[in-house]
Structure 1
């Protein structure tokens, strides 16, 4: 059974980040949210393993919860 690999995998993480930022440049908030949703679905399909997807969702939710409590 596969597990979520959170180790750095991009040879140039800054370039990957720039790709994402540039994809959103000029989009409305709604169009940006739509792009994010489509990207998530494409990457979830690429993962293709429900257990790994569940781990990724749990990790993302935990990170999001941490940010919410920091704002309080």
Structure 2
């Protein structure tokens, strides 16, 4: 399954608000744990190993620049 990098969220502003709300009142360690859990849940939903590797590569490249 190819990685879709085009905008694909039906309600991106609502999602961003919910993402920020997920972190409200969490200390740094719990916030990082919540992010990690979210990543694992979404990775499990995607399921395709090659797609996940593409996503990891793109995220790393973006962080390195």
Tell me whether the two structures share a fold, i.e. TM-score over 0.5: yes
TM-score, structure 2 length as denominator?
A: 0.96
Match of 1:16 in 2: 15
Match of 1:44 in 2: 43
Gaps of 5+ in 1: 67-72
CA offset at residue 12 of structure 1? 1.9
3-state secondary structure, aligned to 1:9: coil
Aligned residues: 65
Gaps of 5+ in 2: none
- Please give the alpha-carbon distance, in whole angstroms, between the structure 2 residues aligned to 1:52 and 1:20: 23
For residues 1-54 of structure 1, give each alpha carbon's deviation from its aligned partner in whole angstroms, at most 9, with x where no partner exists. x11001111122111110100000110000000000100110110010000000
- Please give the alpha-carbon distance, in whole angstroms, between the structure 2 residues aligned to 1:18 and 1:62: 26
After superposition, the CA RMSD in angstroms is 0.6
- Please give the alpha-carbon distance, in whole angstroms, between the structure 1 residues aligned to 2:42 and 2:11: 19
Higher-Rg structure is: 1
